[in-house]
Amino acid sequence: MQQFTTPQVSLASAPAKGTDVVVLGLADSGETPTLVGGADLARTMTKKIASPVELATQLEASTKVGATTMLPSLDGTRVLLVGVGAGALTPETVRKAAGAAVRTARSLGKKSAVKVAIDLGCNDPELVRAAAEGALLGSYEYGKVTAQAATQPIAGVTIVSTASSKEAKAAVADAQVVAECVNVCREWVNAPANILYPESFADSAAALAKQTKVSVTVLDDKELQAQGYGGIMSVGKGSERKPRLVRYSYAPRGAKAHLVLVGKGITFDTGGLNLKSADGMYTMKCDMAGAATVLAATLAIARLGLKVKVTTYACMAENMPSGIAFRPSDVLTMYGGKTVENANSDAEGRLVMADALARANEDDPDLVVDVATLTGACVVALGEWYAGLMASDHATADHVLDAAESSAEGFWHLPIPEEIAESLKSDVADLKSSGSRMGGALLAAAFLHEFVDDDTPWAHLDIAGTAFNTGKPSGHTPLGGTGHGVRTLIALARGMQA
């Protein structure tokens, strides 16, 4: 289920020999656009053909961030202009432009893989990192499931820069790891549910961890049953594919803080006995994106050797209707002993998450962050580019928002009103899994919070809207699995280092 290989990125002062596509920036600077990067190249070109700016003007090339215009080939090397907008370059402008450029270059690589050089005049290490990250994120596309051997359209990427400092080289190496792990997350999310199901997902997660300093334990259905994971077991009961709980542990020497991550891994959400509509169900292979996000982020954190302890839970189950499926009104006993009345079998995510959150209390965390494609309500509230962020307190919310901002991933702080807990009251159990439809994202968060120890800083990321792009590819964001949240979690871990 990991078919995609992220190309290799390197740093150089000029495009390598045999480069197929050179990417230059086109900035909005009033009447005529200006070229960003590629000073040398522009000079050689001017001698042979018209200046790139002249050509760009004739072709009405757009300077909109990420808009691409291919210029006529020059000695076999094509020049691709990519818009970088107006004003000073920011990391996100560069990331988007590089991503969009590589996506365009991909389409040239159908017959033989293309070598891309990106020259956006980035010399600051942070911009170099952004260019490398954007390019490798943009190289991703979910391939067909086919017996034919797949070749990756991008052979390699060079970031052209005068920066050659240790810092710039480290930034490129860092970007390679981050982008590879985001792409791993995307591959998991895109894998169809007949290929990726709890057992195969857990196997894949364990196999990838073997290449790192992450140790893994996988609880199968018998162990989950024996240890009292009533949420995960109940949700998975209707499926032939039995549930799994994957636990990653990364404990580097010298780490002080302990970050615990929890992810929703519903490999397919039919809604269970509260069956979804055909349209609502079609994209539900993405309902394990939270688990994919926390696992991929943990792999990145370990590969980067960050000095922070990370324990990660991925709650894997398939939500199916059947003769033995859990029913609305069933009372479940969750890990740790709390009982829950199942209000609606389509509100399954919070049940699997509650088990792992309760288990996480035993790990003595400094911060718990859970990630889940939890509610349609969050998609209605925030759309597809901002995920919801709810937290135990403002300081924790700000802590996570800072990490999100540094990664330029959209997260928006939503409240958990005290009064909302009222609608989680049950006549037959300690709690009911849902209640009023109003503020559904907040209610789901209030439910999860019931399973986290009172004094533990906790944040909940509802990525239902952002995890899976059904619209158009844009910038460094492909169709399908986006990996939204992976980079935020990595940034969060960076900030918690000893």
**How many CA atoms, within 13 angstroms, populate the side-chain half-sphere of residue 448?**
36
Nearer Cβ to ligand BES, position 293 or 434?
A: 434
Q: Cα separations (Å) of 252 from 299, 302, 304, 326?
A: 13, 8, 11, 41
| Residues 409-448 interacting with ligand BES (rule: CB under 6 A) | 434, 440
Q: For residue 239, with 0-12 CB atoms within 10 Å meaning exposed, 13-18 middle and 19 or more buried, which class applies? A: buried
Rule CB under 5 A: is residue 133 a binding residue for Zn ion? no
Token pair for 326: 């859990």
Kindly state the number of chain residues that form the binding site for ligand BES, as judged by CB under 6 A: 16
With CB under 5 to 8 Å by kind, the binding choice for 344 among Zn ion, ligand BES, none is: ligand BES
Our answer to whether residue 303 is catalytic in this structure is: no
- In this structure, are residues 248 and 298 in contact, taking their beta carbons and an 8 Å threshold? yes
Rule CB under 6 A: is residue 376 a binding residue for ligand BES? yes
Stretch that binds ligand BES, among 82-90, 371-379, 401-409, 412-420 (CB under 6 A): 371-379
Our answer to whether residue 276 is catalytic in this structure is: yes
The DSSP bridge partners found for residue 263 are 314, 371
φ and ψ at residue 249, rounded to 5 degrees: -135, 125
Binding mask 446-485 for ligand BES (x = CB under 6 A): ------------------x---------------------
3-state secondary structure (DSSP) of residue 357: helix
Rule CB under 5 A: is residue 349 a binding residue for Zn ion? yes
We find the least distance from the C-beta atom of residue 261 to ligand BES, in angstroms, to be 19
We find the least distance from the C-beta atom of residue 182 to ligand BES, in angstroms, to be 19
Tell me which residue has tokens 């073997």. 210
Nearer Cβ to Zn ion, position 287 or 384?
A: 287
Identity of the amino acid at 428? V
Nearer Cβ to ligand BES, position 82 or 377?
A: 377
C-alpha span between 205 and 432 (Å, rounded):
32
Task: State the alpha helices, DSSP H only, in 304-439.
Answer: 349-360, 376-382, 394-407
Rule CB under 5 A: is residue 346 a binding residue for Zn ion? yes
Gyration radius of the chain's alpha carbons = 24
Among 3, 227, 249, 344, indicate the residue that binds ligand BES (CB under 6 A). Answer: 344
Among 183, 200, 293, 373, indicate the residue that binds ligand BES (CB under 6 A). Answer: 373
We find the least distance from the C-beta atom of residue 383 to ligand BES, in angstroms, to be 12
Q: CB count, 10 Å around CB of 410?
A: 18
Token pair for 274: 């509260």
Nearer Cβ to ligand BES, position 103 or 285?
A: 285
- In this structure, are residues 110 and 153 in contact, taking their beta carbons and an 8 Å threshold? yes
Rule CB under 6 A: is residue 375 a binding residue for ligand BES? yes
We find the least distance from the C-beta atom of residue 420 to ligand BES, in angstroms, to be 13
- In this structure, are residues 423 and 436 in contact, taking their beta carbons and an 8 Å threshold? yes
The DSSP bridge partners found for residue 411 are 387
Q: CB count, 10 Å around CB of 401?
A: 18
Stretch that binds ligand BES, among 297-305, 346-354, 355-363, 486-494 (CB under 6 A): 346-354
| Residues 267-286 interacting with ligand BES (rule: CB under 6 A) | 269
C-alpha span between 174 and 491 (Å, rounded):
12
Handedness of CA 139, 144, 145, 148 (dihedral sign): negative
DSSP assignment letter at 286: G
C-alpha span between 362 and 262 (Å, rounded):
13
Among 119, 287, 341, 409, indicate the residue that binds Zn ion (CB under 5 A). Answer: 287
Nearer Cβ to ligand BES, position 379 or 431?
A: 379
Token pair for 28: 């909005």
Q: Which of 242, 244, 303, 350 is catalytic?
A: 350
Rule CB under 6 A: is residue 396 a binding residue for ligand BES? no
C-alpha span between 434 and 329 (Å, rounded):
11
Rule CB under 5 A: is residue 462 a binding residue for Zn ion? no
We find the least distance from the C-beta atom of residue 354 to ligand BES, in angstroms, to be 13
Among 214, 332, 379, 389, indicate the residue that binds ligand BES (CB under 6 A). Answer: 379
Rule CB under 6 A: is residue 3 a binding residue for ligand BES? no
Binding mask 121-160 for ligand BES (x = CB under 6 A): ----------------------------------------
C-alpha span between 429 and 34 (Å, rounded):
66
Q: Which of 64, 169, 276, 327 is catalytic?
A: 276
Nearer Cβ to ligand BES, position 312 or 434?
A: 434
Q: Cα separations (Å) of 155 from 106, 129, 194, 475?
A: 10, 19, 31, 20
With CB under 5 to 8 Å by kind, the binding choice for 379 among Zn ion, ligand BES, none is: ligand BES
We find the least distance from the C-beta atom of residue 15 to ligand BES, in angstroms, to be 42
- In this structure, are residues 392 and 446 in contact, taking their beta carbons and an 8 Å threshold? no
Binding site for ligand BES (CB under 6 A): 269, 287, 344, 346-349, 373-377, 379, 434, 440, 464
**Residues annotated as catalytic (active site), given as ranges:** 276, 350
